[in-house]
Amino acid sequence: MNFPPPGRFPPLILDDVRGAQKMLSGVAKVTPLEGSRHLSALVGAPVRFKCENLQRTGSFKLRGAYVRISGLSPVERAAGVVAASAGNHAQGVALASALLGVRSTVFMPVGAPLPKVAATREYGAQVRLHGHVVDETLAAAQEYAHETGAVFIHPFDHPDIIAGQGTVGLEILDQCPEVRTIVVGIGGGGLAAGVAVAVKAVRPDVRIIGVQAAGAACYPPSLAAGHPVSIDTLQTMADGIKVGRPGDVPFGLVQELVDEVRTVSEDELSSALLLCLERAKMVVEPAGASPVAALLSDPKSFRGPVVALLSGGNVDPLLMQRILTHGMSAAGRYLSLRLRLTDRPGALAAMLGVLSVADANVLDVSHVRTDPRLGLTEAEVELHLETKGPEHCEEVAAALRGAGYLVVG
């Protein structure tokens, strides 16, 4: 294996992951594998979800955090641990520390969602809000570690973390021995690296496909360069995989063992999250839905049976509302129109009657009479409609035009 940087850590092997699995017995759940009839039909082969969104703390992060903290010496445990995270890693470290009787401090960004902050505190960590971006929060946590002697628990750049996350791969092989493709989201690379180490050692024929958000894809340029490189702009709703630079430790494993890294758009992430909720009844965060987004974007390119790893389900309710709206829009199930009509009694009711016949659900109506663009007897109406899909959107617009309304936008 190419395992940079040389000499820093010994190479990670299958025995490390199996040791982590024993350590996690009775601590981490063996999460279920659920089938998806809809995706199976699209792919033309069985598709199953590995539901780490149902793991304790709502994500896979507990696995790596517990293994890492378990490996600390008595002196290190006495000094406590510190981490920086906007959510999933924070909760994993908090619970793992509480289970092991270790004092934990977690730095979170000032704008971190309140449910995630509250959950981290409830798991037993002392939470400190610092910085508005994760880089500032990370710097504060590292400074705290330097000043206090607390052990910094990195979210992905350590062999113990990777070994813990790799236990997901062993479970997939046990639950679906016939698997031929595993699709997993990639941020810093800890989960993908761990799964690849475990799976490739037992089943080298299984394809491992990593997925990144196109707006925060640090792995494609890093793999092209042959070493981790940083990207400056990070724009994605998928906070769980919003990482600007691959970890040094997982990068070599991903480079060696992951067969392909794909990217998905924000629209594809939204549509995937909506599908998980509507068709699989799974609450999944955008990062956790990234493998589903990849399957939706090019279903025939996957060799089945396929396991899509739903890495987490910790999504803020307000963000969920915005994402679902975005997902429905991306799926062609929202239609926004502006149209002109004659300003007379009953005109608005008549227009709404056309929409009723077209079976469009009106979500919002804005009626404007006083605008310099309008004629003396004109009014403009802005409509937000719920539809059944792209074809229905066209049918609704055609029905309005057929009834004599001027659609202007």
- Tens digit of each residue's pLDDT (9 = 90 or more) over 389-407: 788 888 888 888 888 877 7
Backbone angles phi, psi at 40, to 5 degrees: -60, -40
Site of tokens 């004629």: 375
pLDDT in tens, 202-220: 999 999 999 999 999 999 9
Backbone angles phi, psi at 185, to 5 degrees: -70, 150
- Cα 315 to Cα 3, 292, 361, distances in angstroms: 34, 16, 27
Q: What is the pLDDT along the chain (409 residues), one digit of tens a residue?
A: 333 444 456 678 899 999 999 999 999 999 999 999 999 999 999 999 999 999 999 999 999 999 999 999 999 999 999 999 878 999 999 999 999 999 999 999 887 778 888 999 999 999 999 987 677 888 899 999 999 999 999 999 999 999 999 999 999 999 999 999 999 999 999 999 999 999 999 999 999 999 999 999 999 999 999 999 999 888 888 888 888 899 999 999 999 999 999 999 998 998 899 899 888 899 999 999 999 999 999 999 999 999 999 999 988 777 777 777 766 776 777 778 878 777 778 777 887 888 888 888 887 777 666 665 655 667 777 788 888 878 888 888 888 888 887 777 6
CA gap 66, 28 in Å, rounded: 9
Position 348: which residue type? L
Structure tokens at 187: 């941020």
**Which pLDDT does position 7 carry in this prediction?**
46
**Which pLDDT does position 370 carry in this prediction?**
64
Structure tokens at 353: 């009657």
CA quadruple 130, 131, 137, 140: dihedral, nearest 10: -60
Under 8 Å between Cβ of 91 and 58? yes
Instruction: Say if residue 357 is exposed, middle or buried (CB neighbours under 10 Å; 0-12, 13-18, 19+).
Output: exposed
Instruction: Say if residue 77 is exposed, middle or buried (CB neighbours under 10 Å; 0-12, 13-18, 19+).
Output: middle
Under 8 Å between Cβ of 309 and 183? yes
Residues 6 or more apart whose Cβ sits within 8 Å of residue 304: 40, 43, 44, 45, 46, 47, 180, 181
Q: Do you find a cis peptide bond into 305, omega within 30 degrees of 0?
A: yes
Q: Do you find a cis peptide bond into 155, omega within 30 degrees of 0?
A: no
- Residues assigned a catalytic role: 61, 311
